[in-house]
């Protein structure tokens, strides 16, 4: 691992559950659009693709057939692409516990999101992650050898993850994604990023981590994360603007900037295989 200490993983979150073409025409919505976007981002340096699916009306959907179509299209059209697929287990307000996880044993992604707590979402609803779901999902991920990306929106969720680690429901070493700047979650500031990292190190020692900031906190969190030894996530799930007043032209644009900043800092962009080593994932078959 010593030769990987200067490597930084870029995750591309291409789509999310909410941005529409009306927000930014470049948001990919169909499996074909997502596949081509992921491929371009991989060529630019992304090692992980965090995938959400949309239904035919463009709404977030835990549709196993859309996930399957996306995975199979990527393998068919771009067999050279060795990016790590990280499939969401959220993003559909109508999903049941079963539909949030039924794609994992069917499609065997290397990673999947694990949202470690319930919160009021954007002042508009409840993002519900009940203990029963977290226990079932954690056990299924162990059975299917899927690495959890533990998404935490406040420090209490880190404590919740520590509980599930202690119970053996999350395997170690764990990997955290600090989701910052979301309404009703922790604000995206450097002070809070330091606090999140220190909380994780105290409660879940030996874990790896990544972070992103939504909206105006995006650049501050990206710079801070790189400087503090973390990995970074970028993409239109979190921001449709490249900078204030300027829509992003593509997800690749975000990845290119992230890669440039990593290199400017004297570090290196991790390849997918290097990311697998950093995250303790099995080698690609």
Classify 86 as helix, strand or coil.
strand
Backbone φ, ψ for residue 109 (5° rounding): -65, 155
Backbone φ, ψ for residue 134 (5° rounding): -65, -35
Residues 133, 123: Cα–Cα separation, whole Å:
23
Domain boundaries 2-278, corresponding CATH code: 3.20.20.70
42, 36 Cβ separation under 8 angstroms: no
Give the model confidence (pLDDT) of 226-255 as tens digits. Answer: 999 999 999 999 999 999 999 999 999 999
Residues 105, 68: Cα–Cα separation, whole Å:
12
Residue ranges for the chain with pLDDT beneath 50: none
pLDDT score of 229: 96
Two tokens at 96? 């049941």
pLDDT score of 127: 87
pLDDT score of 254: 98
Residues 167, 163: Cα–Cα separation, whole Å:
6
Two tokens at 233? 């996530």
Burial of residue 140, with CB atoms counted within 10 A of its CB: 0-12 exposed, 13-18 middle, 19 or more buried: middle
Give the model confidence (pLDDT) of 1-55 as tens digits. Answer: 558 999 999 999 999 999 999 999 999 999 999 999 999 999 999 999 999 999 9
DSSP 108: -
pLDDT score of 1: 53
138, 169 Cβ separation under 8 angstroms: yes
**Domain ranges, ordered by start, for the chain:** 2-278
Residues 86, 98: Cα–Cα separation, whole Å:
18
Q: What percent of the chain has pLDDT over 90?
A: 91
Residues 111, 84: Cα–Cα separation, whole Å:
7
């Amino acid at each position: 691992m010593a030769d990987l200490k200067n490597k930084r993983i870029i995750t591309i979150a291409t789509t999310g559950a909410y941005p529409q073409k009306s927000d930014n025409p470049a948001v990919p919505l169909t499996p074909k659009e997502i596949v081509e976007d992921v491929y371009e981002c991989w060529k630019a340096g992304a090692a992980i693709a965090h995938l959400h699916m949309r239904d035919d009306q463009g709404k977030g959907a835990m549709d196993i057939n859309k996930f399957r179509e996306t995975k199979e299209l990527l393998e068919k059209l771009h067999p050279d692409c060795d990016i790590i697929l990280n499939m969401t287990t959220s993003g559909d307000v109508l999903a049941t516990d079963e539909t949030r996880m039924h794609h994992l044993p069917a499609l065997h992604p290397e990673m999947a999101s694990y949202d470690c707590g319930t919160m009021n979402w954007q002042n508009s609803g409840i993002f519900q992650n009940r203990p029963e779901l977290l226990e079932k999902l954690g056990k299924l991920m162990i059975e299917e050898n899927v690495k959890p990306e533990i998404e935490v929106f406040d420090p209490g969720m880190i404590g919740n993850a520590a509980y599930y680690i202690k119970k053996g429901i999350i395997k170690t070493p764990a990997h955290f994604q600090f989701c910052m700047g979301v309404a009703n979650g922790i604000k995206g500031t450097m002070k809070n990023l330091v606090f999140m990292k220190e909380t994780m190190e105290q409660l879940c020692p030996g874990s790896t981590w990544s972070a992103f900031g939504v909206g105006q906190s995006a650049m501050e969190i990206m710079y801070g994360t790189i400087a503090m030894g973390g990995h970074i996530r970028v993409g239109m799930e979190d921001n449709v603007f490249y900078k204030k007043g300027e829509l992003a032209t593509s997800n690749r644009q975000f990845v290119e900037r992230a890669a440039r900043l990593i290199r400017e800092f004297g570090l290196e962009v991790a390849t997918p295989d290097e990311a697998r080593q950093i995250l303790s994932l099995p080698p690609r078959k």
